[in-house]
Structure 1
């Protein structure tokens, strides 16, 4: 199988770009408040995608399918962005990525109910190991306390899980680029209620802050979600893609050190190692199949 035909590549690209979001959101919130930041991030993503849609001559979805795009935009961008930004501003980058990493578990459980998707025994075991890694990371880090930031991030994880299920359905109806673009357009339209505050805060922002917005809008939003939709369109089931979200704590820890000077602690290393063992176990069939086909 060629790399471009594998969902693994697209899923990994997405989690790398999403990992940047945890760090750059915290940097951006040194100036911007959470909700205006959400608007600025997605108006930037929308502007980029308008150019892509026009260049690629992508047609709008059919009228009968517009409600699906509206719900997708609400779950993946409006509700998710409000809860994500609110929670991220209250906890360190690595911690926020760990909480959001519970989304694959929620996604797997909901996919079992909604789409009747079944995971193999070792995949459920792998999911349990990954979740255990999250608990170890949290306990060792001394963050095992239900504070307001964690509650907001759990709400964001649930919203993202709903979005994942919708992507599985919608990428069977339309190509990934169209699904992503019009979902983001709907989400951005909902975020326009914060446009006034965003403009006032942007008026006094430094050039560095606009760079943060550009990274969040183009890389962590537009390109990341296009790649995510592409992964769902190629994967056999929802959980195979969403499981990649468990990798984000490590990549986030690296980016947090590089861009924000946040040194990974022992909790991140130990919990992270456990999570990576779970990720390997979950995808072991894929690894062995690829070796056999060579």
Structure 2
């Protein structure tokens, strides 16, 4: 099997996992407060990523970093998982999954815009067009199709969802200067973020967790969305001979997610969700055109 085929299989496995998490979020939040869900998921993720590092014979890398890198782990841990998932779970707690999930996908566009002032990249006309198309989709979803009224179904929930994209994009901009091994870095971010999440949970809603389906769903999120999916995607990117082809698999995820949302959660998918999601995906596709052109140049170079 070629490296590219392996990369596509890793990518497809990741996309399948990503497609289930919106449903898992809602199942977990049925009985858990967002901060309780974050505590359970983060703890599960730390155990899984630690286990993966041990299985790969890379556990020793956790202890070979500089003091500055450990301090960096604390700072990045406050951003992801602490701040990012606080916003994301807050959005899912207030909005239907079919609304919260597509809004979160606009993070890639936010990343392109933030890269202009922070990474010195140029803003192209196609980036502006992509933004107009993407955020037209956001307005359609957030107003449930009542675009002219500009009356948002849940303004705070929408703010949480869009806030999560800003935090996530900021995290990846900071991560461009991160020289740590990706899995080791994420493991330490979550490990150092866990005490802050525990304190926040204890102080606000308490540490007593209800046993049942919601707890299982929170563990699932930690194991798969926060842990295994990241490792699989890292493998896909590492093995890919054409990264653009693998990256395009991401566009499958939000539509496949709607299938799980409909059949497992029983949400009736509104026409505005289909229209808004299609606009968001179209905007992200436009924004990726530069990447495709550069990749074709590399393939033929």
Name the TM tier (shorter chain).
Answer: 0.7 to 0.9
User: Gaps (5+ residues) in structure 1?
Assistant: none
Change (3 A) 1:283 1:162: closer
Specify which of 257, 268, 277 is matched with residue 252 of structure 1.
257
The alignment's C-alpha RMSD in Å is 3.6
Residue 223 of structure 2 is matched in structure 1 by: 218
Q: What displacement does 1:216 show?
A: 0.4
User: What's the counterpart of residue 29 of structure 2?
Assistant: 29
Quote the Cα distance in structure 2 between the aligned partners of 1:17 and 1:42.
17
Aligned residues: 283
How many Å apart are 1:286 and its aligned residue? 2.3
Note the C-alpha offset of 1:267. 1.0
Offset of residue 229 of structure 1: 5.7
Q: Residue 162 of structure 1 aligns with which residue?
A: 170
Which residue in the other structure is 1:50 paired with?
Answer: 50
Normalising by structure 2, we get a TM-score of: 0.78
Query: Relative to structure 1, is the Cα distance of residues 127 and 223 closer, same or farther in structure 2, using a 3 angstrom cutoff?
Result: farther
Q: How does 1:1-294 map to 2 (within 5 A)?
A: 2-3=3-4, 16-55=16-55, 56-58=57-59, 59-60=61-62, 61-118=65-122, 120-142=124-146, 144-145=151-152, 147-170=155-178, 173-194=179-200, 196=202, 199-201=207-209, 204-206=210-212, 208-227=213-232, 249-284=254-289, 286=292, 289=296
Structure 1 residues 184 and 26: alpha-carbon distance in aligned structure 2, compared to 1, 3 A threshold: same
Structure 1 residue 233: Cα displacement: 7.7
Q: Deviations over 1:250-286 (max 9, x none)?
A: 3432221132111222112222223333343334462
Task: Give the drift of 1:191.
Answer: 1.1
* Contact 1:180–1:226, Cα closer than 8 Å, also in 2: no
Once residues 147 and 217 of structure 1 are traced to their aligned partners in structure 2, the CA distance between those partners, rounded to angstroms, is: 28
After superposing the two structures, state which structure 1 stretch, 64-73 or 86-95, moved more.
64-73
- SS of 1:89 mapped into structure 2: helix
TM-score normalised by structure 1 residue count: 0.79
CA distance in 2, matches of 1:71, 1:188: 12
> What is the CA deviation profile of residues 189-215 of structure 1, one whole-angstrom value per residue up to 9, with x for unaligned ones?
3212156566412xx412x33431232
Matches of 1:200 and 1:62, distance apart in 2: 37
Q: Are residues 144 and 73 of structure 1, via their aligned partners in 2, closer, same or farther at CA, if it must alter by over 3 Å?
A: farther
> How many Å apart are 1:110 and its aligned residue?
1.4
Q: Residues 140 and 29 (structure 1 numbering): CA distance in 2 closer, same or farther, change over 3 Å?
A: closer
**Cα offsets for 1:2-26 (capped at 9, x unmatched):** 43797x8877765653443322111
Cα deviation, residue 155, structure 1: 2.6
Displacement of 1:245:
7.2
Larger displacement relative to structure 2 (272-281 or 138-147): 138-147
Distance in 1 (alpha carbons) for counterparts of 2:6 and 2:75:
29
